[in-house]
Amino acid sequence: MLYTDICLGIFVVIGSSISTTKDSLLNIIGSPVEFSLQIEIYRGLADFYFEKPEEVDYLNKMYFTAKAVNDKTHMFEALSDLVFSYIKVYHADSVWYYMSLLKDVGTLEESHPYLFFLRMRLFAGRVRNNEVETAITEELAFMGKENIGGNDIYIQMEQTFITGYALCSEGKYEEADPYLETAYKLACQLPYEEGFKFRICTVWNFLSTLNFIDKGDLYIEYVEK
């Protein structure tokens, strides 16, 4: 009954101002509540503080609360957001720290959808920060250390995306095109919700390359899909 009452209270405050909602969530989290509700509240507070220092604090609390009840889904979610928040500010040590935690949450099959998406974003961030050689060196070291290979679709997406992105950084758009197209087509093979972030990550780079190599008709075809 208490759980239901608290949930109803949250729905009521959603209609009020963000400040009021934030204060309400903070008040609730200070009361004895179930772990599942604590996790959702920390998720909401992290969203309120998006790209502010408090965001990291609440994502960490979300992770440790989820860990206490072995809630892998929310552990992966919190750690993924933590990694991405540090990718955006080029804080490499924190990126590697949270990536190492993410790898330990579950099996390889469970972690790959998160790990390889984040590696794609990390590589792109490195390149945008004019760290192409560092990005390539890190990727080669990762592939060698982890003995990465095989037919895993997430590995294939990451490798083709990174190869294409690296070629684009050198202005080799013709050479990059087939790699980026392959990465996008692999993303399209995933279930809709699971593959959404991969499609977003791959499609714009692929479409941008089509513009550079004067394949306007193909560009329009993909945009209309």
**CATH class of the domain at 1-106:** mainly alpha
Q: Residue 206: what pLDDT? A: 86
User: How far, CA to CA in Å, does 78 sit from each of 23, 126, 166, 204?
Assistant: 22, 22, 29, 26
Contacts of 194 (CB under 8 A, 6+ apart): 113
1-106 and 111-225: identical CATH topology: yes
For residues 136 and 159, give the distance between their C-alpha atoms in angstroms, rounded to a whole number: 11
Q: Residue 77: what pLDDT? A: 97
Q: Is 70 left (phi over 0), alpha (psi -120 to 50) or beta?
A: left
Q: Residue 144: what pLDDT? A: 67
In DSSP notation, 202-224 reads: HHHHHHHHHHHTT-HHHHHHHHT
Tokens of 104: 């330990």
Report the CATH number of the 111-225 domain: 1.25.40
| Residue pLDDT tens, the chain, 225 long | 444 444 434 444 444 444 556 666 666 565 556 888 899 999 999 999 999 999 999 999 999 999 999 999 999 999 999 999 999 988 889 999 999 999 999 998 899 999 999 999 999 988 888 888 888 888 888 776 665 555 689 989 999 999 999 999 899 999 999 999 999 999 999 999 889 999 999 988 888 887 777 765 554 555 555
- Is the four-CA dihedral 60, 114, 40, 55 of positive or negative sign? positive
Q: Residue 210: what pLDDT? A: 79
* Percentage of residues in the chain having pLDDT higher than 90: 50
Q: Residue 75: what pLDDT? A: 98
Backbone angles phi, psi at 144, to 5 degrees: -70, -45
Residue ranges covered by each domain of the chain? 1-106, 111-225
In DSSP notation, the chain reads: -HHHHHHHHHHHHHTS-HHHHHHHHHHHHTS---HHHHHHHHHHHHHHTTTSHHHHHHHHHHHHHHHHTT-HHHHHHHHHHHHHHHHHTT-HHHHHHHHHHHHTTS-HHHHHHHHHHHHHHHHHHHHHTT-HHHHHHHHHHHHHHHT--SS-HHHHHHHHHHHHHHHHHTT-HHHHHHHHHHHHHHHHTS-HHHHHHHHHHHHHHHHHHHHHTT-HHHHHHHHT-
